[in-house]
Structure 1
C-alpha cells in the first residue's frame, strides 16, 4: 500500500492528453484524495510534446513530486523525455501503435498496451485516452465505477451511447492491463482516502472567483497565456450578476477601460501576463496620477518578449514595482496558494478603493494553471470596504469638489460622476486639489507627498506567511508565489538532517514588509532566497529593504520548469 502516487500522461498536443488527466484527477479528488497537477505544454494549438503530471496523496500536497510511479505514453517521445523521473519500481504503459522501446538505463517496467487498437475496435481511436485510464485503474486496483459520474458529466450532452462507449473503453483497458499484470504490482495500491468533498481548481479560477466575491462587475482584457482563464471564467459568470466582460483590441484598451469603469464607481479588473503588462504601464501610471482604484492581475511567464509563453518563471517583480515612468504609490500582492489567490484577489478591490491606487495581484504560471485540491472557500471571510468613496449626498459647495484634497493620511474624498456638488477636473498632468492642472512647485511637492503618504501605513493582514518555530535558525528560506510547496517539503527533509530551518513566504512585494522579514533574517545564520528567475529579483528587493544582506544566498531556476522539492533541498544542503 502507498499513501502517495505520481502519475503522468504524455503525447502530442491535441491528442486528448489534458482530458485524460482531467478525468483521472477529478474522479480521485471526489474520492477524497489530495491532488496537485502541472501541465507541460507547447505554445501552439496542435502538435509538440505535452504532458500532465498529477500527484495523488492522502495528505495535502502543494508541489510536483520529484519522481514518477506511472508513465502513460502515447508516443516514443514521451518515454524518451520523461522516463528518467521513474523510480526503479515504476511502470510505463505505452501504446503498441508506435512499437515502444524501453531505454536501457531504467529499471522501470514497460507494458505495451494497445490503447489505439482497443479504442478503434470500440468505434473511434479518440477513446484511447479512456482505455489508458482503465489500464491505470488496473495498476492501482481502482474500481472503475468511480469514473462513471465524471464521464457522464463530460459526455452526457452527447447522449447515453457516447457515455456507455467511453465507460466500455475504460473497462476494456482495465481488463487488458489486469490480465497483463497478473497481480504483480501490489505496491501500487493506494491507501483509502478520507472521502471528504473538496474543490479541485486552478489558481486562475480562484482569482476570478475572488474578483466576483470582492464585488468586481466589469473586466476588460485581451487573451494571453497564462491569464486567459480568468477572463473565460468571468465571461460565463459576470452577466448573471449584472456585470460584463469586454475582450478589447489590445492591452492598452483593456487597462484604460478598467480605469474608466472604476472612475465611474464600478469595481473593475484587468488581467494579463508580462508582455501585456508592459503595454498597460502607461495606463497604470494614469491610474496612479488620477488616484483611480484599479486591480490588475499579472500571471508571470517566461520572458523577455514572447519568451517562453507556456513555461514557469517569476521575473516580473521589478517591472511591477518600477515599470511605470515617474513615481506612483501602488500595492503588489503575491498569493502563494490557490486559497490565498481567492481571498487576496477579493481583498485587492478593498485596498484599491481604500488607498485609491493600482493594486497588482502577482501570480505565476505554476500557481495560475496548476490544478489542485482546495479546501472549501468561505464567503464569510470576504468583506467589502469602499474607503473614502462618498456614497451619501455631498454638502453644497461653491466651485469644484476637492477630489485631490491634501489630507493627513494621504487619501482624498472620492466622488463619482453624476453626484451633485462632486464635479472636478480629471487629468493626467499634475493638478491641484480640484484637479485643475498646476505646475506650481509647492503644489507638486504637496500632491506627491500626499499620494505616497497613502501606503506608508498600509494594513494587510498577512504580508508574510511565516513558519518560524526556531528562535535561532541555521537557515531561513524565503520565497514567493508557487515555490511554497517545494520549499515546505524541502524543509521537512532538512529538519530530518538535523538543521533548524525557518520559512518566510512574501505575500506583499510592495510596499515591502521589512519589519516582518528583518527579525527572521537576524535570527538565522544563512538566508536562502528561492525564485524562478535569472537575476534574483526578490533577493535584490530584500537587499534594498533589510539589513544583514550579506547573509542572503540566491537559489535560482530559470529553465522554464518549476522547482522540485529535491532541488530546493539539495541546494540548501550545499550551504552547510
Structure 2
C-alpha cells in the first residue's frame, strides 16, 4: 500500500474544481492523513484553466510532489497542460463528454469515464465533481462513507435530500470504476492514523492568530492573495466584539489602523505588493509616532499588477526599505501554516513592545495552500502590551504640563498612554517632535529622537528568528525563507539518502536580522545555497546587507510557480 499519493483535478474555473479537491482533501484529513493542497487559478472569476493538486501522505509533507499518480480531467486542456506530470503507469480519468484524447508517448492507464452522464442520471450535471470523488475513492480503496461527514457539513443546511443526492453521485462514480473490473490495487492507500487535526491555509491561520492575539479592529481593502484573511475576520471578529471595515483603499486601511491603535485597540490590516506600496507613507507615520500596527503582506507575482494569482517572494526589499526616511520596523516571515498562527500572536506582542510597525511577510503558496496542522496549543499564547503607562503614572504628570509620550529612555521605548487617561494629554504629529509631541526643528532633539527610535532594535534578536534542520557537520548549507521550508527539507531527505551532508537554515526574521546566529551557521559551511522565488536574489542580498560574510550561490525561480522538491534536490546535488 502507498504511504503517499499525488492527485490532481483540472477544468475551467467555475466548474467546481475547488470543491472537488476540498471534499477529497478534507475527508482524508479527517481520517488521519496528512494533506498538502495547492490551487492553480487564473485572475478571473469564471473561465480559464484551473487545477487543484493534492498530496496525501501518512506523514507530514509541506510541499507538492514532483509527479502525479492520478489526474482527473474535466476538459482536454487539463490533459494537455498536466498529463506530463503523470508517473509511469499513473491513472488518467477523463470525462467522456468532451471526447478526450490521451497524451501520446506516455505509459499511463487512461480511462474515459462518463462523469457528466452519471451525474445527470443521479440528479444534476453539477454533481460531476462528486462522481469524480467517488471514482477516486474506488481507485484509492476508500469507501464512500469516508466522505459522509464532509458532505453533511457542506450540504446539510440545504436539506437531507441534497446530501443524499451527492452521496448517490459519489457512490455511482465508485461503482462505475468497480464494474470495470480493473486491477488498481497498486494505488491503494495505507490507512491514516485516525488522529484529528486541522486542515487550513496560511491565511486562515493568520486570521486565527490575529483573533488569539486580541485583535478587535481590522480596516482592509480586498486584494489577492490576502483577501482571505479579511474574509476570515469578517466572519469571526464580530463574535468577539470586533469590527472589520472595508476601506476605500490601502491608504485608508493603514491610516485607520494607526488611529485604532492610538485609541488602544490591537489592530491589523492585510494586503499584497501593490497595496503595500500605497501604505508606505502611513507606515512612516506609524514609525515616527511610535504607534504599533501589524500588516500582513502576502507576496504575489509583480511588478505592478503582475500576476495576481501566482506565487513569488519579491516584496522583501519593499517590506524592509519601502518607506521614505528611516524608521525601525519588524519584518517576520513564517514558513508553515502552524507558524502563521503562533508568529502572528508574537508579531502583535513585538509591535506593542517596541512600538513599531510590524509586517508579517507570507507568500501565495503559504497563504493559499491547504495544510494539515496539529491543533493549536493556546497555552503557548501570552499577551504583552509593552510599556503602557498606568493611570497612576499618567496622573503624576505635573499640572499644566503635557505627558512625555516620547520620553527619552534608556532602552528607547517610551511609555504609551491611551486617550481618556487623566494626565495623558500630549501632541501627536507626523513631523519631528519633542518628548511631549510638540513640533520642532531643533537639531539636538532631532538627533536624539532619531537615535532613540532607531536604537530600539539595535542588537535585538527576536525569539524564533530562524530554524535549523539536517546534519550538524554539513558541507552544504541551504538557506530559505517562507514557504520553501518544506521543499528544502524534502530535498535534504533525498540528499541524505545519497550520503550528502547538508544543513537547512530557514530565516524567519528579516528585521531585526539574526546576524550573529546566521553568521555562525554560514561559517561552518563549505558552500551556501540560497533558495528563493524572485529574480534578483533578495534574501541573499539582505544577508550581505547585514554584513554576513561568505560565498553565496543563488537558486531563483520567478515564473509564478512554487518549486517542486526535485528542482532543489537536483540543483543542490550538483554543488558537491
Q: TM range, normalised to the smaller chain?
A: over 0.9
> Partner residue of 2:27?
27
SS in 2 for 1:6: strand
Query: Counterpart of 1:361 in 2: which secondary structure?
Result: strand
Does 2:477 correspond to 1:476? yes
Shift of the alpha carbon at 1:467?
A: 1.5
Asked whether 1:418 is paired with 2:417, we answer no
Secondary structure (helix, strand or coil) at the match of 1:39 reads: strand
- Mapped pair 1:229 → 2:228: yes
User: Any idea what SS the aligned residue of 2:358 has?
Assistant: strand
**Match of residue 12 from structure 2:** 12
**Does residue 520 in structure 1 map to residue 538 in structure 2?**
no
- Please state how far the C-alpha of 1:459 moved relative to its aligned partner: 4.9
Secondary structure of residue in 2 paired with 1:421: coil
CA shift for structure 1 position 124: 1.1
Deviations 1:530-564, CA, capped at 9 Å, x for gaps: 00000000000111223433x20000000000010
Aligned partner of 1:123 in structure 2 is 123
Structure 2 contact 518–548 (Cα < 8 Å) conserved: no
Cα distance, 1:524 vs structure 2: 0.3
Encode CA deviations 1:307-352: one digit per residue, 9 max, x unaligned: 0100000000000000000000000000001111000101111111
Measured against aligned partners, the alpha-carbon deviations of 1:241-274 in whole angstroms (never above 9, x if no partner) come to 1110000010000000011000000000000000
Query: Aligned partners of 1:339, 1:532: CA distance in 2, in Å?
Result: 21
Q: Given the alignment of the two structures, is residue 44 of structure 1 paired with residue 37 of structure 2, yes or no?
A: no
The 1-side partners of 2:105 and 2:137 are apart by 27
Q: Give the Cα–Cα distance (whole angstroms) in 1 for the partners of residues 114 and 229 of structure 2.
A: 38
Distance 2:333 2:547 in 1: 19
Structure 1 residues 554 and 459, CA gap change in structure 2 (3 angstroms): closer
Looking at structure 1, the residues matched to 319 and 405 of structure 2 have their Cα atoms a distance apart, in angstroms, of 27
Greater mean alpha carbon deviation, residues 148-157 or residues 7-16: 148-157
1:460 aligns with 2:462: yes
Equivalent position of 2:500 in the other structure: 499
Question: How far, CA to CA, are the matches of 1:340 and 1:356 in structure 2?
Answer: 22
Q: Deviations over 1:194-251 (max 9, x none)?
A: 1000000000010000001111110000011100111111111111111100000100
Tell me the residue number matched to 2:183: 184
Shift of 1:468: 4.7
2:343 is paired with a residue whose SS is helix
Q: Taking structure 1 as reference, are residues 28 and 468 closer, same or farther at Cα in structure 2, changes over 3 Å only?
A: closer
Aligned residue number for residue 389 of structure 2: 390
Q: 1:85-104 counterparts in 2 under 5 A?
A: 85-104=85-104
Equivalent residue number for residue 402 of structure 1: 404
CA distance in 2 between partners of 1:155 and 1:238 (Å):
25
C-alpha distance in 2 between matches for 1:237 and 1:554: 42
How far residue 138 of structure 1 moved from its aligned partner, in angstroms, is: 1.0
User: Which structure 1 segments of 5+ residues have no match?
Assistant: none
Specify the alignment match of 2:149 in structure 1. 149
Residue 335 (structure 2) pairs with residue 333 (structure 1) = no
The aligned residue for residue 296 of structure 1 is: 295
| Deviates further, 195-204 or 147-156 | 147-156
CA distance in structure 2 between the partners assigned to 1:167 and 1:197 by the alignment? 23
**Deviation for aligned residue 1:354:** 0.5
Q: Deviations over 1:349-398 (max 9, x none)?
A: 11111100001000000000000100010111110011111133321413
How far apart in 1 are the matches of 2:179 and 2:528? 53
Aligned residue in 1 for 2:112: 112
Instruction: From the superposition, tell whether residues 547 and 275 of structure 1 become closer, same or farther in structure 2 (CA, over 3 Å).
Output: closer
Aligned match for 1:429, one of 412, 418, 431: 431
* 348-357 or 393-402: bigger deviation: 393-402
Residues in 2 aligned to 1:163 and 1:442: alpha-carbon distance in whole angstroms: 73
Provide the rounded CA distance (Å) in 2 between the counterparts of 1:469 and 1:359.
33
Offset from partner CA, 1:48-81 (integer Å, 9 cap, x none): 0000000000001100110000000000000110
How many Å separate the matches in 2 of 1:545 and 1:384?
30
Counterpart for residue 259 of structure 1: 258
Match of 1:66 in 2: 66
Residue 306 of structure 1: aligned partner: 305
Where 2:70 maps in the other structure, the secondary structure is strand
Q: Deviation of residue 488 (structure 1)?
A: 0.3
User: Contact 2:74–2:95 (CA<8 Å) still a contact in 1?
Assistant: yes
Segments of 5+ residues of structure 2 without an aligned counterpart are none
* CA distance in 1 between partners of 2:240 and 2:162 (Å): 35
Tell me the alpha carbon deviations over residues 62-117 of structure 1, each in whole angstroms, 9 at most, x when there is no partner.
00110000000000000110011100120000000110111112111110010111
Number of aligned residue pairs: 573
Q: Which secondary structure does the structure 2 equivalent of 1:524 belong to? A: coil
Aligned-pair CA distance for 1:9 = 0.3
Give the SS at the match of 1:431.
coil
Please give the secondary structure, in 2, of the residue aligned with 1:59: coil
Q: TM-score, normalised by structure 2?
A: 0.98
